[in-house]
Structure formats: C-alpha cells, structure tokens
C-alpha cells in the first residue's frame, strides 16, 4: 500500500485552532488538533455533530465560513504551508492539489449546466488541454467513477441523474486535476445503504490506484470501519483518540470511543441493550474545564475535572485520557475496567 511505502506525510496538520469571534467573546471550535495523512491512506474523522470534524476539513481546504478563521497552528500539503496563503493562491491549490466532495452533490453541481460542461471547464482551468481533449478526459473520468453510457450522459444535466450517480459525478469533478488530497465530508450520508457501499468501494479504489490521500469526515462508524486505514475520533473540538481503525474499533481506549463502539449493533450477536452515553456534546460556550468529556464520563477522577489531557500512548492507539497517564496520577483504580 502506498501509505506504508512512503513515510513522508502528504498532509500535516499541527496544533490547528479554529475560532469564531462573536459579540460575547471568541468561541474555540477546533482546539489544538494534529494529525498526518500519508499518500494512498484514508484517515477517517468521526464524532457527533458539533465535534469539529467538518470545520477541520473546511480549514484544510480553505473554505471556513466567516467569521470563522484559522487562529493558530499549521497546515502543510506536500511540505508546503497552505493555511496562510492569500485567497486566490488557495483557490488554485484547492482545485489542482486538493479535491473536495460534500454531502449534498447539488451544492457542488450547477443545475443550469450539463455535467460535461462543468467537468470540461474544471479540467481546462487546471490543465493545458483543448476543449476536445478536456471532453475526452471528462468522459474517461465518468467511466472511471462508474457512470454507464458516459459518452451520452456527459451532456445530461444534474437533475437527470439519481442521487448516487450525482455523487459519482462530484467525485469525478474532485478528480479532474489529479489532486494529491481529497477531503470528503459525509459523502454517503444522503444515499441508500447499497449505494453507500458502492461509493465507499469507489473511494477506496481511487485512493489506492492514484496514491491520493483521503480525509473522510463522517459520523458513521460503519463507513469508517469499511473505508479507513486510521481513524481520529473527535469530541468538543479536540481529538479524543487516534489510531489504526481495527484497534480503535476492537480495543477503544478512550471512554468516549468505547461508548461510540458500544452503541453500534453487531450482526449475529443478540444484545438486550446497546451502550449509551448519557448527556450531550457541550456547546462551544459551555465547554467544561479539564477534560471536556468529564460530565458524561463514568471513569472520571478528580484530575479530569481540572486538567485537560493531551493524546498519550494507549495500547496500539493514542488517547487523550488520564487513565493512560504513565505517571499513574489519573484514575488508576479504573484502569483494569478500560483494559478489559
């Protein structure tokens, strides 16, 4: 796999901080988030609504809604810092080096133009091709993403495609300039389960064949388990746990991740009751001191109320939880419960 053969990360996010200035003060929406994605790797970013997943993705592609802003940290693409670039420079990078796939394909497609016109214009914006060459490439892209009868359908309008087919067109648009990174924000949420599986398989194949890095933002752990190589679990603007997807799914180390995993029903396993996490994600104006998860955590100790944990080694993953503090000053009496 490309990710294993190339140790140089394609995307590096370091201590990312996203703020929203308001009349009542500044709200911290993404707080000190760091991760890498290697070429050919899919990093899943998962969490409840309000966790900061989409804001992290939007910060990377330079599409934060004002007054949101990157207030700290660095984002590097292939070693080049991109978070401090002027809008026009970032717009060129967003089309050529970074592709974006959003939840609703209709937000990415202009209903007044045929999909072929939109593909050809995008290709010609980023590649020195004639109209005929760009059209040939557009047809090839539609075939690659599984649109049957691409030669004819290229002249159809978005409303003439089903939801799943529109999402394939959006993926073709994202691939127009052979981007090195694709940020996919809930790309399968609005689709039936069978179509979801097809889109997931398509993203995995394109990632492997093109050596593209993919950041897959979703709230669906099933999609993550099927698609991602590694997963970052976000909570209240921070990464609660990050590691290989198999380890996070099978041996979650953060109490929040354990709750997420326990809430997923398993086929073939009879369970009287699924695990639930009491409470709700805190609002940005009400994030508690210490560990943000402490009001909902059944494992909390005194330290969790006053000190905020950073990511630390926890088995095969890294978790932001004092239970895994090597110094043993977290909540040692509960450690065997987490290791069980």
Give me the CATH number covering residue 206: 3.40.50.300
Q: What is the per-residue pLDDT across 237-271, written as a single tens digit (0 to 9) for each?
A: 999 999 999 999 999 999 999 988 876 666 566 66
Between 8 and 36, name the one with better pLDDT: 36
Residue 285, judged by CB atoms within 10 A of its CB (0-12, 13-18, 19+), counts as exposed
Instruction: Tell whether 235 is covered by a domain.
Output: yes
Number of domains in the chain: 2
User: Which one has a higher pLDDT value, 130 or 328?
Assistant: 130
Domain closes at, from 176, 207, 225? 176
Q: Alpha-carbon distance 318 to 326, whole Å? A: 13
117, pLDDT greater than 70 = yes
Q: Looking at the structure, tell me whether residues 284 and 321 fall in a common domain.
A: yes
207 close to 181: Cβ distance less than 8 angstroms: no
Say if 149 falls within a structural domain.
yes
> Domain range spanning residue 27?
1-97+180-267+274-340
Same domain, 74 and 199: yes
Beta bridge partners of 232: 45, 242
Do both 197 and 292 map to the same domain? yes
Q: Which of 163, 260, 179, 262 is nearest to 215 (CA)?
A: 179
Domain boundary among the residues 176, 211, 226 is at: 176
Q: Are 41 and 230 in contact (CB under 8 A)?
A: yes
In-domain check, residue 255: yes
Q: Do 237 and 340 belong to one domain?
A: yes
**Does 117 map to a domain?**
yes
The proportion of the chain whose per-residue pLDDT surpasses 90, expressed as a percent, equals 74
pLDDT per position as a tens digit, 129-172: 999 999 999 999 999 999 999 999 999 999 999 999 999 999 99
Give the pLDDT score at 1.
Answer: 39
* One domain, residues 164 and 16: no
Looking at the fold, whether 283 and 153 belong to one and the same domain comes out as no
DSSP assignment letter at 113: S
Task: Identify the bridge partners of residue 117 per DSSP, sorted by sequence position.
Answer: none
105 neighbors 113 (Cβ within 8 angstroms): no
Please count the other Cβ atoms lying within 10 Å of the Cβ belonging to residue 309: 22
Given this model, what pLDDT does residue 191 score?
83
How many residues does this entry show for the chain?
340
pLDDT of 334 reads 43
Least confident window among 85-89, 180-184, 276-280 = 276-280
Side-chain-side CA neighbours of 30 within 13 Å: the count stands at: 26
Q: Is the domain of 201 the same as that of 79?
A: yes
Q: Judge if 167 and 189 occupy the same domain.
A: no
Give 295's pLDDT tier (boundaries 50, 70, 90): very high
**293 closest CA partner among 303, 307, 284, 282:** 282
Rounded to an integer, the average pLDDT of 77-94 is 94
Non-local (6+) Cβ contacts of 287 within 8 A are: 28, 236, 237
Question: CB-based burial of residue 195 (10 Å sphere; 0-12 exposed, 13-18 middle, 19+ buried)?
Answer: middle
Domain assignment of residue 197, yes or no: yes
Q: Is 103 inside a domain boundary?
A: no
Residues 216 and 261 in one domain: yes
Residue 274: predicted pLDDT: 63
Residue 183 Cα distances to 70, 255, 275, 333, angstroms: 17, 28, 31, 41
> How much is the mean pLDDT over the chain?
90
Residues 214 and 279 in one domain: yes
The predicted model gives 179-199 an average pLDDT of 89
Are 236 and 220 contained in the same domain? yes
What's the pLDDT at 265?
64
79 shares its domain with 144: no
The candidate with the shortest Cα–Cα distance to 260, out of 47, 53, 49, 51, is 47
Of 152, 176, 200, at which residue does a domain stop?
176
Whole-model pTM: value is 0.90
Q: Tokens for 148?
A: 């049957």
């Amino acid at each position: 796999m490309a990710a294993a053969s190339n140790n140089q990360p394609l995307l590096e996010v370091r201590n990312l901080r996203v703020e929203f200035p308001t009349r009542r003060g500044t709200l911290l929406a993404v707080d000190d988030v760091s991760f890498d994605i290697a070429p050919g790797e899919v990093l899943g970013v998962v969490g409840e609504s309000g966790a900061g997943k989409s804001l992290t993705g939007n910060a990377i592609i330079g599409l934060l809604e004002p007054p949101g802003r990157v207030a700290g940290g660095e984002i590097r693409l292939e070693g080049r810092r991109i978070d401090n670039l002027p809008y026009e420079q970032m717009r060129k990078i967003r089309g050529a080096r970074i592709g974006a796939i959003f939840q609703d394909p209709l937000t990415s497609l202009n209903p007044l133009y045929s999909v072929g016109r939109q593909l050809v214009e995008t290709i010609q914006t980023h590649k020195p091709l004639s109209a005929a060459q760009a059209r040939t490439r557009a047809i090839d892209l539609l075939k690659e993403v599984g649109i049957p009868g691409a030669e004819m359908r290229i002249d159809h309008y978005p409303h003439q495609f089903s939801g799943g087919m529109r999402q394939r067109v959006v993926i073709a648009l994202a691939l127009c300039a052979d981007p090195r990174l694709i940020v996919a924000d809930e790309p399968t949420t609005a689709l039936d389960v069978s179509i979801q599986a097809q889109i997931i398989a398509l993203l995995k194949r394109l990632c492997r064949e093109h050596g593209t890095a993919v950041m897959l933002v979703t709230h669906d752990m099933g999609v993550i388990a099927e698609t991602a190589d590694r997963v970052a679990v976000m909570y209240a603007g921070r990464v609660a746990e990050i590691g290989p997807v198999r380890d996070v799914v099978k041996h979650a180390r953060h109490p929040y991740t354990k709750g997420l995993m326990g809430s997923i029903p398993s086929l073939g396993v009879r369970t009287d009751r699924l695990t639930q996490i009491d409470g709700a994600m805190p609002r940005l104006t009400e994030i508690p001191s210490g560990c943000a998860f402490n009001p909902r955590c059944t494992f909390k100790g005194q330290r969790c109320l006053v000190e905020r944990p950073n990511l630390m080694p926890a088995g095969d993953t890294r978790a932001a939880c004092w239970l895994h503090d090597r110094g043993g000053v977290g909540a040692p009496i509960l450690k065997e419960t987490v290791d069980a």
